[in-house]
Each structure stands twice: as C-alpha cells, then as structure tokens.
Chain A
C-alpha cells in the first residue's frame, strides 16, 4: 500500500481504538460492530464491482451461507468456533464457484439478475431447510479463540474492526499487485486481456471467491456476536443495502467501501428521531447523495483535498 493509504490507515486505527471510550454504551458499540461487519462485506463487493467490473446483487447470499454454516456446525457439533467459521468460508467459496461458472457468460444487467437469483435461492433454502425455518435459531456460541471467549461488546468491537483493518491491508496489497492490475484490465477489455494471456475466466472466478469469502467471514462474525440468526437478515434487501454502501462510499475505492458501510449502517439509527418518517428521510438522503455525489463520498473528499492542495501551491 502507498504512503497516502498508510497514513489513512493510522488515522483509521486510532479512531477505531478510541471509539469505545467515546461512544460508550452497548447500543452505540453494537451499531459500531454492525458497521464493521458490513464494511467487511463491502470491501469484497468493492473489489468485485469497482475493480473487476462484475455486478453482484446476491452478496447477502454469501453472507447468509457464512452465518448459517458456521452457526449450525457450532450448535450441532460443538466444534471450535474458528473451525466453524472456516467451514462457512469454504462453503461460500464453493458456492461462488457454482455461481461464477455460469455467470462467466453474463455481463451487466444479465449478471445482476443472475446474482440476484442466486441470493434469492439461498434465502429460500435458509427459509425451508435452515435450522428453525423462517423463525431462525439461537444459542449460537460466542466467538472464542484459544479458550478466550469474546463476549463483551467492546472486545467484539475490537475484534471486528481488527479483522476489517487486516482485510483492508490485504485488499490494498492485492489491488496494487499484478492481480489488481489484471482485474482492472478485464474491466476495460476482456478481448484484449485474453489476447495478452490474462485468463479472464479464471480471474473472474477468483474475484467472486474472494468477495464470497469476505462476506462469509462477516456473516459468521455476525452469527457469533448476535448468537441468534434467521433468514430475514440475509434477504435481497440486505444485498441492496450492501450495494448502496459501496456506491455511496465510492465504488472504486476500498476506503469508500468502509466509509459507505459506516454511513449506511449509522444513518438509520440517527434518523430514528423522525419516527415513522425515518425511512422517507433515509430514502431522500440516499437519492440526493447519489444525485450530487455520483462518484461517492471518498472520491469526492479526495478531489476536494487535491483542489485545496493545488490552489495552495498556486
């Protein structure tokens, strides 16, 4: 990662470390935790959409697979939570291959509809065959590692955002490598990529797997924090919210995915004072932000900073 990103990362880590001291109370921390969980999915979606140019309206499906597989195995077999989470990610990776192979032939709207269908299939499966059916199930063990159980909201907050920070660094490294370059290349021209020996099909499958693993990781963290899950959390509505996060934050920027996840998660909480009109105001804010900040929040901020720097020098 570059120096600009490194500085931003330091600011980011400081803000995260201090947050539990400022925003005390388990309600505020829980909103912070959900922001982090969403940020994890959004980073994967950002690489998939913003860099590789693929669309997914089914990301909640991978998120749900991660949550359900990890939760069911830990409840039924009592295996260590970390093993269950790994199983969730492995199953999601498998599902990504199953989705990606037919999706290789599709682009744009067609790919959007295919992934939407995938998300719905997962939702239906969880409703029909998931433990507890539509009403879900509880008593999922808390996250624990090496005998230490992470129960309190503040420690889980650090866990989730620690995972987000590590994932962000991993993702920046990936984006700034030959692989990131190839992902951007297939976004521009698949014909030329193939002709230059860049295997477009293999890359697409890999990037779908990557985004699925991030989403499943987030889903399993969710399950082991809330300790109760039901299919309603993994519906099309959640896929659309995830998409909103990436777009509002700025689709071609990993920081954008993180900022977008926080904004979209926190905003409804802030709007609760509008009572029954909250969803109306929420919709209005999102519509206006898409109209006026089309590139997303983070690219907008970067542009402003560069403008100021430019005029300062002049």
Chain B
C-alpha cells in the first residue's frame, strides 16, 4: 500500500502542495485529477524521489521512502512515465526498454570489458525480456528505430514499456493519454486495466482525459491549488459539487 501523509511542498514561497494525504491500495488504479497547477505532477515527483517533500511522509509497503533518492525508490519497485516524454532519444526503441532491465542485472565494467561468459548470457536475457515487453505494447516492429523518431502515441507506450521492464509493483503514469487520439486513448484504457489485472500492478494515474479517468479508475483524488479537494469513487467525484465548481464544470461527463 502507498500512503501519502501530510505532504507539503513549496517552491520559492509558493505552495505547490499543502497537507495532502491519501492512500492507494494494492492492485488499485488511483487517479489524481485537478486543474493545471494543482500539484499533480509535483506529487508524482515527490513519490518517485525527484523532489524531496518539505514536510510529511510517503510510505510504501510499510517503509518510508520520502527523502530517498529516485534510484533507490526505483529499486523499491516504483516506476513511472513522464508528462513531458523523457525517452533516451539516441537509443533505439529496444535499448530504451533494455535500460529498464539495468537494475535487475549486474555485469560490472570489468566483467563487461572482458566479456566474461555470464555477461553474454545476461545480455541475451535482457534482450529477450525486453522484446517480450515490446510485444505487449505493440512496438516490436519498431525495435531498431531510434526512440526520437516515434510519434507521440508510441512514445507514451514506449515509456510505459520501459517502466514495466523494471518489474515495478507501483506504476506512476503522468498524463499517459496526453497527445493521443481517441482510438489510442481507448486502447490505452484497456491496456492499463490489463496491467492491473494481469500483472497485479498498483497504478497511480495523473490525467486530464475525464473519459479515461472515469472509465478505469477504482478511486479518484481531486487536487486544487495544492490541496486535496475530494476523494472517492468515480461516481461520487462526478457528482461532487466542489469538484464540479473547481474543475469539471457543469457539462455532462
């Protein structure tokens, strides 16, 4: 279980998050929604260790992870994607996924330079596993293309593939549907739901596409100006007066 406890964060005197608390249960899809500047991405950065919080704690599987470096948090089984795609542009599609296997493998500089027998075996396993993941996201046919040449929809899928290669238990998705067309978004909903059911992942999703959020989330947290405005099941959030005023507006959703 992921526990967010009284998180505070400010940048140069401007409060980005104040006293935010909620939990995400195992094998749950938790969506975090809210207007631009509500602090959603900041929250993901804090969970994944890119920023330390100013106050409060993040507890993962009973261990405090806030204050740890993002490398160590990744090694605790938390992986993520980025709102502004952070792929390795000079690496191929396959190599990007293979980077996800890095922390699960161990050949050092000297062993690699000497090409000891286990290094080759390990490398073949990295490749096989990565290709399996590319099959899963449907990018196997582009494995030898440079990541920088992909269209946005495929970039977002590749980021998910790279994150999956680390074998996470918690996956943080920062606006995975941003820039996607309707068909791609629909495919993404099915894909994310399958991740939960087939891979037993806990997923935290920051997203503006309300169709996607309402469709796949088990529960939703609403942030507004850095504060938690509401939390509940999708249907509760859809009918919540505060949320409608602050974010959703009164059109039908």
Contacts and interface: CB of A to CB of B under 8 A. Distances in A.
Interface of A: 170-171, 173-174, 177-182, 184-185, 187-189, 191-200, 206, 210
A200 B113 contact: no
Given A181-B91, A196-B79, 15 more contacts: A173-B113, A177-B115, A180-B112, A181-B98, A181-B99, A184-B88, A185-B99, A189-B86, A189-B88, A191-B50, A192-B88, A194-B50, A195-B86, A196-B99, A197-B103
B90 A196 contact: no
A196 B112 contact: no
10 contacts: A178-B107, A178-B123, A179-B108, A184-B88, A184-B95, A187-B90, A188-B89, A188-B91, A191-B82, A194-B74
Contacts of B71: 194, 197-200
Interface of B: 48-50, 69-71, 74-75, 79-80, 82, 86-91, 95, 98-103, 105, 107-109, 112-115, 119, 122-123, 126, 162-163, 166
Nearest to A174: B113
A188 B90 contact: yes
Contact of B74 (A174, A185, A189, A197): A197
B102 A182 contact: yes
Contact of B126 (A171, A174, A178): A178
A180 B79 CA distance: 22
A277 B205 CA distance: 67
Given A173-B113, A179-B112, A192 B87 contact: yes
B112 to A, nearest CB: 4
A277 to B, nearest CB: 41
A182 B100 CA distance: 10
A120 to B, nearest CB: 28
A200 B103 CA distance: 12
A194 B126 contact: no
Interface secondary structure of A, over-half rule: helix
A197 B166 contact: yes
A42 to B, nearest CB: 17
B110 to A, nearest CB: 9
B91 A170 contact: no
Q: Report the 8 A-B pairs with minimum CB-CB distance, sorted nearest first.
A: A197-B103, A177-B112, A197-B74, A192-B86, A170-B113, A188-B88, A194-B70, A174-B113
A180 to B, nearest CB: 7
Nearest to A202: B71
Contacts of A171: 113
A195 B112 contact: no
A178 B102 contact: yes
A197 B75 contact: yes
A198 B126 CA distance: 15
Nearest to A171: B113
A171 B63 CA distance: 40
A8 B103 CA distance: 33
Contacts of B162: 196
Contacts of A191: 50, 70, 82, 86
A206 B109 contact: yes
Contacts of B88: 184-185, 188-189, 192-193
Given A195-B74, A196-B74, A174 B91 contact: no
Contacts of B107: 177-179
Given A189-B86, A196-B79, A197-B74, A177 B99 contact: no
Contacts of A182: 99, 102
A170 B114 contact: yes
Contacts of A178: 98, 101-102, 105, 107, 112, 122-123, 126
A206 B108 CA distance: 10
A173 B122 CA distance: 14
A69 B102 CA distance: 36
A269 B101 CA distance: 49
Of B70, B100, B108, the most chain A CB neighbours within 10 A belong to B70
Nearest to A180: B112
